[in-house]
Amino acid sequence: MLQSSIPEFQHQEHQAWLKKIDFYQEQIQIFQKELSMVLHQHIDLFSIIEHVDEYRMILLKKLKKLDELRRQIILHEKNIAQTLQTDAINLWDHMEVRAQLEEFEKKYDSLKKNFRNFVAHHIGESTL
């Protein structure tokens, strides 16, 4: 890969990552609404309330992680634009963010599956 095309590739990848982050944030907002639906249907069951609270905390942590990833991507993008060169630090930063996003996606997919099962069990699949 040519030296000048590395920043362009990184920029394109950053844009794709930011779109993924937008998608995850929107999906988490939907999950939060679904938790409210579960809570309203089972307002008297303490065990359900505990599960809803636990999921809310997990979703908040996921949102914080997404904000952190977005911040890292934007900072890296600014750094690339300012230096217009690719050095070992920029490449390492880029690879580190990629690894963090991939790790987030793995954990998120697992959470999503468990969350969907929980919601389906407590409000029924017809409302999803």
DSSP-derived secondary structure for 19-46: HHHHHHHHHHHHHHHHHHHHHHHTTT-H
pLDDT of residue 80: 79
CATH of the domain at 106: 1.20.58
Are 86 and 6 in contact by the 8 Å Cβ rule? The answer is: yes
**22 is a domain residue:** yes
**1 is a domain residue:** no
**9 is a domain residue:** no
pLDDT of residue 2: 46
User: What's the pTM value of the predicted model, to 2 decimals?
Assistant: 0.83
pLDDT of residue 125: 42
pLDDT of residue 50: 96
**5 is a domain residue:** no
Instruction: Give the number of domains in the chain.
Output: 1
Q: What's the domain range around 68?
A: 15-123
Are 118 and 55 in contact by the 8 Å Cβ rule? The answer is: yes
**10 is a domain residue:** no
pLDDT of residue 128: 41
Task: Using alpha carbons, select from 105, 126, 78 the residue that is nearest to residue 23.
Answer: 105
Q: What is the pLDDT along the chain (128 residues), one digit of tens a residue?
A: 445 587 888 889 999 999 999 999 999 999 999 999 999 999 899 999 999 999 999 999 999 999 999 999 999 888 877 776 556 566 668 899 999 999 999 999 999 999 999 999 998 643 44
What is each CA distance from 2 to 5, 9, 19, 87, in whole angstroms? 5, 10, 26, 13
**113 is a domain residue:** yes
**128 is a domain residue:** no
